[in-house]
Homo-oligomer: A and B are copies of this chain.
Amino acid sequence: MATGSGKFSTLYPVGGLRLGTASAGIKTAGRKDLVLMEMAAGSTVTGVFTQNRFCAAPVMVAKRHLQADASRYMLINTGNANAGTGEQGVADALKCCQAVADAVDAQPQQILPFSTGVIGEPLPVDRLLAALPSAIDNLSEQGWAEAAEGILTTDTRPKGASLQFDINDAQVTITGISKGSGMIKPNMATMLGFVATDAAVNEELLHRSVRLATEKSFNRITVDGDTSTNDSVMLIATGSSGVEIDESTFEVFLAQLTEVFIALAQAIIRDGEGASKFVSVIVEGAEDTQEALDVAYTIAESPLVKTALTASDPNWGRILAAIGRSGVEDLDVSKVQLSLNSVLIADCGCRAASYTEAQGQQAMQSEDIEIRVALNRGQATETVWTTDLSYEYVRINAEYRT
């Protein structure tokens, strides 16, 4: 199950960025499961990574290589996360980097490895490397759509976003792909997002932009509250457009980049495991950002709220109970207002005088649901996107691996 049409607009090529996809048979024979991305010399590259302490071997290696040298290639496999694999996992990731370096005449430190899939199984390095020549042969600036397929796991559809805009009368392109459907509560980034622009952006500005855009996109989604071991969002600036981003143009660039990031993050939620609803939880009038997020995530991750959403049941008492346990110590419940889409449900901490059950049921029929909470105690507002909790979620996660 998934929500929305899943369609995305054309993925515009980004000059200086080529992608090649191949089938290595890592988990399923014949499936596209290996992607190589080549970044032109002179590109700047940055990323944000999972904060899970059991971070995967490729995450450790990618962070080290980012520091060590100018990155030229990213190698991404699906079907195996190479996480919880200890020293052997690190050795396997390094072996893959070495093989790419040998094949393309680069240094191993210029290769960034990424993996996604089952945790705790050894990476099938031989099968992966056997497919590498095919990925290299396929390298093309037109390769985005195929790469979007090649990084999926339990996802039911590829995810992409792309836009073009002008800075000082010159055209800039931003294009990205992402994957993710379960184990989604990114803490810094989600597993996996790759976004590239042909603008020239220096490392400091590039890193600032990936942090700020992630904060408003990948760090605002949750399917099940489970933070992956492999989350990574990478941002590449090839500079091929000749447009250089500086402090004067940074805000324009950041706004467009954030739009791409939000589209990719929302695509993950629309394809959330077993999703039949796309839910925006908006908390207004909180004292600060953290308080707004605490309330929003408590609602968004409540199994009782999520099962009520599955049933299209306006069981708003469960939402109030979630607000009440979200850790806001001195919350004055008599000031809390709650609405579902445009229907005011609770006011003064109890059922609104104007509310009828029929209105609530009507609102809950929509595929897209907006849960809006006004705490009326401050100025902070935050939005978190999530899904419902369906039979299908249980089926997918009880059957995965077997």
Contact = CB atoms under 8 A, between A and B. Distances in A.
Interface of A: 51-55, 81, 83-89, 118-121, 182-183, 185, 187, 224-229, 301-304, 307-308, 310-311, 313, 315-318, 320-325, 328, 331, 333-334, 346, 348-351, 389-391, 393-395, 397-402
A119 B53 contact: no
B86 A331 contact: no
Contact of A307 (B53, B87, B350, B394): B394
Contacts of A120: 315-317, 320, 346, 350-351
B394 A119 contact: no
Contacts of A346: 84, 120
Nearest to A399: B311
Contact of A317 (B81, B324, B325): B81
A328 B333 CA distance: 32
Contact of A84 (B182, B224, B350): B350
Give how many copies assemble into the complex.
Answer: 2
Contacts of A227: 321, 324-325
Contacts of A394: 307, 310, 389-391, 393-394
A87 B226 CA distance: 39
A317 B311 CA distance: 31
Which of A301, A303, A316, A346 is most buried by chain B, counting CB atoms within 10 A of its CB? A303
A92 to B, nearest CB: 12
